[in-house]
Structure 1
Amino acid sequence: MGALTGKVALVTGGSRGIGRATAERLASEGALVAVHHGRNTGAAEETVNAIRAAGGSAFSLRAELGTAGDVETLWAEFDRLVLEHGPGAGLDILVNNAGISPRAEVEETTREAFDELFEVNVRALFFVTQQGLKRLRDGGRIVNVSSATSRIALPDIIAYSMTKGAVDTFTRTLAKTLGERGVTVNAVAPGIIDTDLNAPWLRGNPDAQQYASGFSALGRVGLPDDVADIVAFLASDAARWVTGQVIDATGGSHL
């Protein structure tokens, strides 16, 4: 039996990159995983199929965050599907991973782009969590995916960095709120990770690889599994005494 056998997990943005690696990692420990996606149904089904092929349990659900009725759609789908696939209604692990990260310096950031960033990265995360609390069992786990940009100044993604600062504050405050229920709330803050999002400038470019590797004290670019393993730890009973923390997952970047 895995460390998460009998648990039900929801991973937002679970179809690609860090989200997919996290979904697969939680499933490998025995959790039934709901793989949320916004638009790419094919990628979500690939993730679900990979989990099932490895002997795990998962299902996908769609809700485009940042649009009207997004949170209600997400949880309605979750409630419907979890009864078909799992040990009963309820949630044990919520991983808030979904987000967007357009690049723009302060002078280039439009009001529309700014609003969309906060709609997806902050508002949706807040209300997905709010509505998830009535489903989350006592002793549950919430893990938010933040970013090292909340502590490292990168001018070309200033508005994105602001959203991750909000996630860090939300994490610490919610941990205080939910402590009496035995629910832990933590965040993971990755650095540069080799995902599809970074592929256009990172993969197949030796100069970019060297540049990105130079940020880390360990001398390499991070992989989705590097972050997923930390999330799995925080979701497990081994992390029962860790809450309100933002865990650096950058391989020692900008020390």
Structure 2
Amino acid sequence: MSLSIQGKTAIVTGAGRGVGLAIARHLAERGANVMFADGDEAALNQAVADYEGDAHVRRFVGNMAEKLAMANLLSATIDAFDRVDVLVNAHRFVRSSDPLDTDIEALDEMLRQNLLAGLRLSQMVARRMIRQAEDEPDSPQSGAIVTISTLAARRPQPSMLGYSIACAAQEQAVRGLALALAPHRIRVNGVSFASVMSHEMQCTLKDSPEKRAQIIAGTPLGRIAPPDELAETVHYLVSDAARFVTGQIITVDGGRSLVDPVGAQIL
């Protein structure tokens, strides 16, 4: 089994900060060509500052929920690297919501940002991967897609109902795409996390040692993991070592899902 991703080309959305940034950096530092994509230009500029002059790293600024931005992202990647082998949907839009609020627009936005953005981009990228595969009939795989979600998909979060619904839908989309794309040798998987120091968790825990202690106490492995550890799981899933793994949701949470039935503040 080979974990090498040397020379592969990856698109990582949500790469301006937190989990997405950790994944993009991890792949770049292991020899992949990486397109860092995010809607926050200032954050993205800071994220790629260390790679100035590196021909293997590019950046793309755009709203990842807009179809035109997705198409331009894919075009920019092809222009820079001639192909795309990996897509990591790490763009997330997290917002609390009142479960009794009948404002359907708020739910629409949550689904548009967290479900439809990644699903549509996956479809666009998959079509490109299929065209590439026509020229590589002997390759064991044509590409790999990974979607990042959280434990909110499987644990009730009344204060974040819209986000929880979107995460659950993301995971079902992973399974459906995995079946649809398997004949084309494209693998689709997901990574669900909790007790990982995402950007959102950093904001939540700022000046709140009590909340930090609560999360650590509720995590069997007794700590909050840096996002680099989640990035290692993504690395495995997009490498040839996982060439027979598709349609799976890998949980990275230090065992928290085993003991946290209500999913309090899962990010």
CA distance change for structure 1 residues 158 and 12 in 2, over 3 Å: closer, same or farther?
Answer: same
Aligned to 2:92: 99
Shift of 1:6: 1.1
Give the Cα–Cα distance (whole angstroms) in 2 for the partners of residues 52 and 253 of structure 1: 39
Q: d(CA) in 2 for partners of 1:109 and 1:60?
A: 38
Q: Are residue 157 (structure 1) and residue 147 (structure 2) matched?
A: no
| 1:142 aligned partner | 145
Structure 1 residues 148 and 74: CA distance shift in structure 2, 3 A: same
For the 8 Å contact 1:213–1:221, the answer to whether it is kept is yes
- Residue among 231, 234, 237 paired with 2:234: 231
Runs of 4+ in 1 over 3 A off after TM superposition: none
Q: Name the counterpart of 1:185.
A: 188
| Residues 91-110 of structure 1: per-residue CA shift (max 9 Å, x gap) | 10000111201011312463
Tell me the distance in 2 between the aligned counterparts of 1:68 and 1:171: 20
Tell me what 1:170 maps to: 173
**2:41 — aligned with what?**
41
Mapping of residues 232-247 of structure 1, within 5 Å = 232-247=235-250
Maintained 8 Å contact 1:203/1:209: no
**Runs of at least 5 residues in structure 1 that lack an aligned partner in the other structure:** none
- Residue 247 of structure 1 and its aligned partner are, at CA, apart by 0.4
What is residue 71 of structure 1 aligned with on the other side? 70
Q: Please, which of 102, 114, 119 is the counterpart of residue 121 of structure 1?
A: 114
Report SS of the residue matched to 2:85: strand
Aligned-residue CA RMSD in angstroms?
2.1
**Deviation string, structure 1 residues 210-252 (Cα, Å, up to 9, x no partner):** 1111231101123211211110110111111111100011111
How far apart, in 2, do the equivalents of 1:66 and 1:131 lie? 13
Q: Report the more deviating stretch, 243-252 or 1-10.
A: 1-10
Q: Give the 3 Å change call, closer, same or farther, for CA 195–109 of structure 1 in structure 2.
A: farther
Question: Which deviates more, 18-27 or 40-49?
Answer: 40-49
Q: Which amino acid aligns with 1:232?
A: H
The answer to whether the 8 A contact 1:5-1:30 is kept is yes
8 Å contact kept, 2:195–2:254: no
Cα distance in 2 between the residues matched to 1:49 and 1:204: 28
**Superposed CA offset, 1:15-61 (max 9, x none):** 110000000111121100000011x22221222233469x7821100
Cα distance in 1 for partners of 2:175, 2:65 equals 23
Cα distance in 2 for partners of 1:229, 1:159 equals: 29
Structure 1 length-normalised TM: 0.89
Gap runs ≥5 in structure 2: 134-140, 259-267
Distance 1:221 1:75, change over 3 A: same
Match of 1:254 in 2: 257
Matched residues, percent identical?
29
Q: Give SS of 1:219's match.
A: coil
- Mapping of residues 25-40 of structure 1, within 5 Å: 25-38=26-39, 40=40
Contact 1:118 1:163 in 2 (8 A): yes
CA distance in 1, matches of 2:207, 2:94: 21
| Structure possessing the higher relative contact order (Cα contacts under 8 Å, 6 or more residues apart) | 2
Three-state SS of the structure 2 residue aligned to 1:11 is strand
Q: Does structure 2 conserve the Cα–Cα contact (< 8 Å) formed by 1:12 and 1:19? A: yes
